C-alpha cells in the first residue's frame, strides 16, 4: 500500500483530502507544520489532531518555525522595505508546503504528499510530463499560488479536491464522517498576522517606512502628505486623505524620494511588465510565446506574449492594458488548457 503524507491544517479541506485518499486505498499519514506560534496555530494543531484520531491515522507535528521565518516572514518584511507588495502564501507553498514537507514525507517513507488545495496534477501528453492544472471549480482554483513548486516534485503531489465544483460537497463529506471541523469557516487573514493589521506588524519588526512624505500627482504637483509608504499600494483609491477635482489612485511608490505618486484612473493601466525570480514548470522552446497570464490571485487571465530578455528576466506584453500591476506580486502563466506554465515576480 502506497503511503501519502497529508498536510493537515485543521480545516475542512485538508480533512476531506485525507478522507478521500483513504477511500482510494492509500495509507494516509497526517502532519501539521508549526509555522507560527500563537493561539490560532495551537487551535489548528488540536483540530488536525482530532481529525486524525477520528480517521485512525497517525498525526505528526513538524516544527517549521525557523524555515517559515526565513522564507516567508523575512521575505514579507524585506519586500515592504523595498516598497513592494508580497504574497506570503506563494513563498510558503514554494519553500514549506511543497519543499520542506516533501522532505519530511520521504523521511517517513511516503511516496506522495497531499494538500487541500483546489488544483489538479496529471500527466500531459503534449508536454510529456506531469503538470499542475486548474481545478474544476473556477471560484476556488488555487493554481496561482502553486507556480513556485519545483517541477521535479509535481509527480509526487496529490490534490484530492481538484475535481470538486463547490465547497458544499466537501463539507457534506466531512459531516458524513462526523468530522468536527465540517462547518469551520475558511481562514481569510495572513496566518502570522491574525488581526490583519500588517502595518502594525511591519512597524513592530523594524520597517520604518512610516516616515511622512509628499503625495505627488503624476504632473508633479504636490497634493498633500502621506503617512508612510507602507500604508499604500498600487491602485489604492481610499484613504489618501487629499482633495482633488478628479478621483485619484496610487500609481507608484517612489522609495528614493519617499513619495506616493497618484493620478487619475487611466494612469494605473499598463500593458507590459518585467518578471524575475522566474520558475518555469514547462520548458519554453521559443523566444516569444502566446500565453494567458494572471497578475494577482483575484485577477482574470488575460492574453499576453511572453518574451525572453535574458536568463533571469522575462518581459510580458498584454494584448490589452491591465489594472494596477503591482511590483512584488506574482504573475502566473497558463496555456489555453489551464495548465500552469510557470510564473515569477513582477518588477
Strand pairing of 27-34 and 330-334? unpaired
**Res 194: pLDDT:** 82
Domains and CATH numbers, the chain: 3-176 (3.40.50.620), 208-263 (2.30.30.280), 269-346 (2.40.30.10)
Strand pairing of 259-263 and 213-217? parallel
* Contact between 326 and 308 (Cβ < 8 Å): no
Strand (E) positions, 281-336? 288-294, 302-308, 314-323, 330-334
CA within 13 Å, CB half, 28: 27
For residue 145, give every residue at least 6 positions away whose Cβ sits within 8 Å of its Cβ, in sequence order, or none: 87, 89, 90, 93, 117, 297
**Res 190: pLDDT:** 87
Q: How many CB atoms lie within 10 A of CB 158?
A: 21
Spatial distance between the Cα atoms of 94 and 88, rounded to a whole number of angstroms: 10
Tell me the pLDDT of the chain (347 aa) as tens digits: 999 999 999 999 999 999 999 999 999 999 999 998 877 778 899 999 999 999 999 999 999 999 999 999 999 999 999 999 999 999 999 999 999 999 999 999 999 999 999 999 999 999 999 999 999 998 999 999 999 999 999 999 999 999 999 999 999 999 999 998 988 888 777 889 888 899 899 988 888 766 899 999 999 999 999 999 999 999 999 999 999 999 999 999 999 999 999 999 999 999 999 999 999 999 876 678 899 999 999 999 999 999 977 767 899 999 999 999 999 999 999 999 999 999 999 99
Spatial distance between the Cα atoms of 115 and 92, rounded to a whole number of angstroms: 13
Question: What cell does 278 get?
Answer: 522566474
DSSP code of 265? Answer: G
Q: What amino acid positions are annotated as catalytic residues? A: 92, 191
Q: List Cβ<8 Å contacts ≥24 apart for 183-188.
A: 183/12, 184/10, 184/11, 184/12, 184/47, 186/11, 187/11
Spatial distance between the Cα atoms of 131 and 109, rounded to a whole number of angstroms: 24
CA within 13 Å, CB half, 67: 18
Question: What cell does 341 get?
Answer: 506554465
Spatial distance between the Cα atoms of 34 and 273, rounded to a whole number of angstroms: 36
Partners of residue 109 on adjacent β-strands: none
Spatial distance between the Cα atoms of 167 and 173, rounded to a whole number of angstroms: 10
Amino acid at each position: 500500500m502506497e503511503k501519502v503524507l497529508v498536510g493537515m491544517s485543521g480545516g475542512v479541506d485538508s480533512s476531506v483530502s485525507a478522507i478521500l485518499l483513504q477511500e482510494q486505498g492509500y495509507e494516509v499519514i497526517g502532519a501539521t507544520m508549526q509555522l507560527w506560534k500563537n493561539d490560532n496555530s495551537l487551535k489548528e494543531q488540536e483540530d488536525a489532531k482530532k481529525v486524525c484520531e477520528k480517521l485512525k491515522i497517525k498525526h505528526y507535528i513538524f516544527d517549521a518555525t525557523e524555515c517559515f521565518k526565513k522564507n516567508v516572514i523575512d521575505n514579507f518584511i524585506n519586500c515592504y522595505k523595498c516598497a513592494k507588495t508580497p504574497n506570503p502564501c506563494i513563498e510558503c507553498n514554494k519553500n514549506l508546503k511543497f519543499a520542506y514537507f516533501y522532505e519530511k514525507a520521504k523521511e517517513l517513507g511516503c511516496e506522495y504528499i497531499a494538500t487541500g488545495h483546489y488544483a489538479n496534477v496529471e500527466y500531459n501528453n503534449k508536454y510529456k510530463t506531469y503538470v499542475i492544472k486548474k481545478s474544476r471549480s473556477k471560484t476556488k482554483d488555487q493554481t496561482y499560488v502553486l507556480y513556485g513548486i519545483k517541477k521535479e516534485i509535481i509527480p509526487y503531489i496529490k490534490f484530492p479536491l481538484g475535481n470538486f465544483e463547490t465547497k458544499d460537497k466537501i463539507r457534506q463529506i466531512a459531516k458524513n464522517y462526523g468530522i468536527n471541523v465540517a462547518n469551520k469557516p475558511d481562514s481569510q487573514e495572513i496566518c502570522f498576522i491574525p488581526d490583519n493589521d500588517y502595518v502594525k506588524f511591519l512597524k513592530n519588526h523594524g520597517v520604518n517606512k512610516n516616515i511622512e512624505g509628499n503625495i505627488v500627482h503624476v504632473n508633479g504637483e504636490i497634493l498633500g502628505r502621506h503617512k508612510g509608504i507602507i500604508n499604500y499600494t498600487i491602485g489604492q483609491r481610499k484613504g489618501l486623505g487629499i482633495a482633488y477635482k478628479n478621483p485619484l489612485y496610487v500609481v507608484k511608490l517612489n522609495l528614493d524620494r519617499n513619495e506616493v505618486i497618484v493620478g487619475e484612473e487611466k494612469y494605473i493601466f499598463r500593458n507590459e511588465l518585467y518578471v524575475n525570480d522566474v520558475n518555469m514548470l514547462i520548458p519554453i522552446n521559443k523566444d516569444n510565446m502566446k500565453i494567458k497570464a494572471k497578475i494577482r490571485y483575484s485577477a482574470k487571465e488575460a492574453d499576453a506574449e511572453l518574451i525572453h530578455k535574458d536568463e533571469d528576466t522575462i518581459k510580458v506584453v498584454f494584448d490589452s492594458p491591465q489594472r494596477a500591476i503591482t511590483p512584488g506580486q506574482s504573475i502566473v502563466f497558463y496555456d489555453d488548457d489551464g495548465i500552469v506554465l510557470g510564473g515569477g515576480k513582477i518588477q
